[in-house]
Amino acid sequence: MTEHRVYNFYPGPATLPTEVMEQAQKEFVNYQGLGMGIMECSHRGKEFDQVLQTAEQNIRELMGISNDYAVLFLQGGASLQFSMVPMNLNPDQDTALYADTGSWAEKAIKEAKLLGPTKTVFSGKGNNYTSIDDCESWDMATENGEDPAYLYVCSNNTIFGTQFHRFPEFPKIPLVADMSSDIMSRVIDINRFGMVFAGAQKNLGPAGVTVVIIRKDLAMKVGDNVPTMLKYTTHIDKGSCFNTPPTFSIYMVGLVLEWIKRQGGLAQVEAANAHKAAMLYSAIDNSDLYRGTVEESCRSQMNVTFRLPNEDMEAEFIKQATENGMVGLKGHRSVGGIRASIYNAMPVDGVKALVEFMGEFERKS
């Protein structure tokens, strides 16, 4: 039996399914009777190759990914992708378009500006990133009239608590999405994207591996001046094993993918996530103490942000929640407040416990 576990609301690294953790624990020192753990196996051996191939196949199955796309397991976190995207997808130095919906998009824009011309087609900075405008209002024109290299969005804002519920539709412009905090949380049409990437440490597994899904024709655009290790084609050609990959992290991603399949797939996971988010937002909206921080039309189903009347009360809320087995509720240091990250692996009982605690805390205040 697993000892009592707290409800982990941290934004990342984040909670993982308990049964996945238990399986990894069981196999840690003796993977499938080998007499050693999977992290000790050669990344070129048949045992790890099976782990890698199965993980890729399950991603393809769950997300409906065709052979037009490559699925890669890379290192460097999503942050390295901020540079790799413009390096690989904009060899002709055309204008790359970016939507600034918060801190992670800002970081991506900063890196892209070092590598070529960029244009910010939307910025939520003026309203403190509390909403995302209708994409149809974005000015997509480039200064010299050339076709944009790509349009870049961050699908979910972990810090401010916003999320794209409808993605931009500009069929002639490759759409690139940082989905680090909501990949595998809902059904998407991957064919609408040129590229998707995600750090694993929120919905897919532990930190250490980044999943990249890229249309092969886009990957082939890369110029000769990009370093070998930073070319997507390098990793496509070598099946994510150009160098030693983060084997244990990939193994853990594989276990999480199997867990998602056992839940019934992404449609069922999406329904469960919508239910959890609705419970929590309802508690906020029907309260005189708590106040949501973003517009209802773009509220995140992964990171629920809210405030109390003052910071002292917020500190007391966090303290008492921790004492009651609910950790990780402190908002990002740049914005303060409360943030409850309710990724796939957060059980509905965890959200129920938080809602009950919120009601009790309000009654006593």
Residues annotated as catalytic (active site), given as ranges: 104, 178, 202
Query: In DSSP terms, which residues pair with 175 in a beta bridge?
Result: 151
How far is residue 280's CA from residue 301's CA, in Å, rounded to a whole number? Answer: 10
Query: In DSSP terms, which residues pair with 97 in a beta bridge?
Result: 119, 151
| Strand bridging mode 7-8 / 326-327 | parallel
How far is residue 46's CA from residue 151's CA, in Å, rounded to a whole number? Answer: 39
At residue 239, what is the residue type? G
User: Considering Cα of 287, then 15, then 57, then 76, what sign does the dihedral take?
Assistant: positive
DSSP letter for 148, please: P
Q: Which of helix, strand or coil describes residue 212?
A: strand
How far is residue 27's CA from residue 8's CA, in Å, rounded to a whole number? Answer: 24
Angle at 345 (CA atoms; ends 311, 58), nearest 5 degrees:
140
